[in-house]
Chains A and B, each alone.
Chain A
Amino acid sequence: KNEVEQSPQNLTAQEGEFITINCSYSVGISALHWLQQHPGGGIVSLFMLSSGKKKHGRLIATINIQEKHSSLHITASHPRDSAVYICAVPGYGGSQGNLIFGKGTKLSVKP
């Protein structure tokens, strides 16, 4: 079974700061997911990536397949970025929906 570790568990930043959240996993994968969970509880998929880098607005996700490591960066952070960010990898059967999740990184951005 793949083990997914995220760091840090909690992160407090000032508005405008550059933020990095890290994710490492133990077994080779076909793709990795970054998800966002807002205080209201809903979960939204941010990225699915299998190599290199993806960018969406102020969010950037990178993955190094050889090192089994991914990072999520937020540029010019804003209080509305406050949420839990979750890294996940395919688990049972390799399907992209059968996911094994990290425990999440709780981000709080202060104005």
Chain B
Amino acid sequence: NAGVTQTPKFQVLKTGQSMTLQCAQDMNHNSMYWYRQDPGMGLRLIYYSASEGTTDKGEVPNGYNVSRLNKREFSLRLESAAPSQTSVYFCASSEHTEAFFGQGTRLTVV
């Protein structure tokens, strides 16, 4: 049972490049989330999806788009990366109880 799987684990982008962070869960959870973690800030919610086919903005959505492809997968896209998007990104899923987190993606935008 893999839980929540994120790819890639590390990525370096140049300013203006685009990329998609992938997330998949095998726990049949309805709800999935994308967070970013910055030093001194704690984790902050970027986007979430309460169920397949729905997505909603969180606290810091600017510069990101998401797709809930199916119940298992929830991707995060940076259309034009900026240095301010340098961060560690976590995907999570939950179903009424505790949240389960992926291992994180460390993204650096230069």
A44 located at the interface, meaning its Cβ lies under 8 Å from any Cβ of chain B in the complex: yes
Could you give, for residues 1-33 of chain A, a 1 whenever the CB lies within 8 Å of some chain B CB and a 0 otherwise?
000100000000000000000000000000001
Q: 17 extra interchain contacts, Cβ-Cβ under 8 A, other than A42-B103, A95-B50, A98-B33?
A: A41-B88, A43-B90, A45-B100, A86-B42, A86-B43, A92-B48, A96-B96, A96-B97, A97-B32, A99-B43, A99-B99, A101-B42, A101-B43, A102-B42, A103-B40, A103-B41, A103-B42
Interface band, chain A: 20 to 34
Query: How far apart are the CA atoms of A66 and B52 in the complex, in Å?
Result: 36
- With both beta carbons as reference points, the residue of chain A lying nearest to B44 in the complex is identified as A101
List B contacts of A44 (CB < 8 A): 101
Q: Which of A83-111 contact B (CB under 8 A)?
A: 86, 88, 91-93, 95-104
Give A41 to B106 CA distance when docked, in angstroms.
10
Minimum-distance CB pairs A-B, first 4: A97-B94, A45-B98, A43-B101, A101-B42
Which residues of the other chain, B, contact A48 by a CB distance below 8 angstroms?
Answer: 97-98
Which of chain A's residues have a CB closer than 8 A to the CB of B101?
35, 42-45
List residues of A whose CB falls within 8 A of some B CB.
Answer: 4, 33, 35, 41-45, 48, 86, 88, 91-93, 95-104
**B45 interfacial by beta-carbon distance below 8 Å:** yes
A97 touches B33 (CB 8 A): yes
What are 10 A-B interface contacts by the 8 Å CB criterion? Answer: A42-B101, A48-B98, A86-B43, A91-B59, A93-B56, A95-B31, A97-B48, A98-B33, A103-B40, A103-B42
